[in-house]
Structure 1
């Protein structure tokens, strides 16, 4: 239903852009004028073909659209002559109108397929870049519950034919496409980054070196995205872990280093061969016992880890392994006194002169607590990690 509403909205915008209002106005005036002339000619001749002007309007609409119900028919010669003229003009105008609207729809679909259309979405996810992990990412959206109806916008330089193949492969996901360089702010604006809820920056490893390294482009894109939408949740993929600090300064919420855990999995697999298999099972989207983050059920805040663990086990949800907490860091304002003293003002001024962003320190920090102990007291800032079905 949502797609139908958006398609109608897009068609209306296209109609406005193509100035079809004039054509609709001509059709409307033709119907009204034809109905008025026939109605007057019939009434003047004391014909009872129409009981009122409303009947004449209905007859004119039916005649112009070539439906021809036959419930109202002019009886006088003059009325029939006018009807013949109205039929001729009606067929011509409706043909022009329907052809123009069809052309607009086809052109719009072609522009969307080529990545040239502006995206008019809200709370969607923008995926920038393309590499070997992109298809796996789309697989996650296609297979996980609650993510199938996601609205995704791909921003990259792939060929339109390749995008059409991808869209056909994932019919349950609403995928749009913007073709261009995701570092360009105009391209990001075309993808609706200002109204997006999430953005994912994939390491763009397929570009030539003269366009910059993948990490450089990821950092530039992160800065551009946050400049356009400071509320967006931004995830980014890095090739070199040394660049993580730059993404943190760009307010990236989630940083993933490509191949970061490969060495661990290889070395662990030599000594304890079951661990890589276990990790693959936990992280697989096809497994029924995958790792999940869920909200704490109502009534369990203030209770213990043991209580919640027992609740999940009894209800078949899975095994509770820990929590993630969004803790607010201690800020400069927490340290300084409430009085606006000269010393406090001096300290704040020195921070500003050193170009230290006090507001940046106020961001919430995620803290992971795995196996916190049976007596751990659950807080309102906690979410739970479980292995099993959420």
Structure 2
């Protein structure tokens, strides 16, 4: 019994020693594993930092010539000693900063040299304030070259073409009406109606009434109208930018084109006025077309200010005739007002009657 008891005690002691050794060995293994993981993580972080620095084009170095941040955690080259944080936390912050482009916006990164900002907005890849500049004089030259009426030598106001002509040359609506009615006498045109540009002839007005609306000699040239307004829109926007954009410090010098085609400027307002007047004349002729007789046509010829070729004066454009009539009406209005309104001796204003 004593022998067996001693044997069991010896075996238990051996097992205890083995267990203690096993426990000690297991603890050392865990410590080595943690150190290896930490070292592996530090190497990965160092590699990430180098790749990040290379992608940005600069690899800052320390005084010893080594890349900054290559030391161990808490070392002289590490980020913990410089910024007081762990390498992983600081690296994650730097990655987020770079991913969102904040380092470029603020002009610096965590341990990099100051980022050089673009010298001017034109060098930036994305410039939201960029606005294309239009040369107003060039735009006006293009407008005059492509949309000049051959009858009045001005910008085409409300482009119309001869309906029966295949050429589809466009002219001002009023100019084309004056061209058609200039040889109109006794209800009949004395010469064939032809295109002012290419001299292509079209049939004269039907004499018998009621006339078919399809025989109306004019047609609105919608294509020319849309292109013309696109040109004038660009020209007006460019002129307005020069005249009314006071936000820019360096203002371009206002030229003749900008002073003419800006908002509420004479050229633009004159074009719109002539378009309205031309539309009124064309509508008046279209409404009377079916039942118009010689008297109606003669009255319409005078209505549009058309004169015969043997008149010593040239055919007056409606713009000039309208300005003269307006100035005459204003003068008459002033005269009537002076006759009707008088000033009493006591300074009060009253009627003569």
Q: Mark yes or no: TM-score above 0.5.
A: no
TM-score range, shorter chain: under 0.3
Q: Structure 2-normalised TM-score?
A: 0.23
Q: Structure 1-normalised TM-score?
A: 0.21
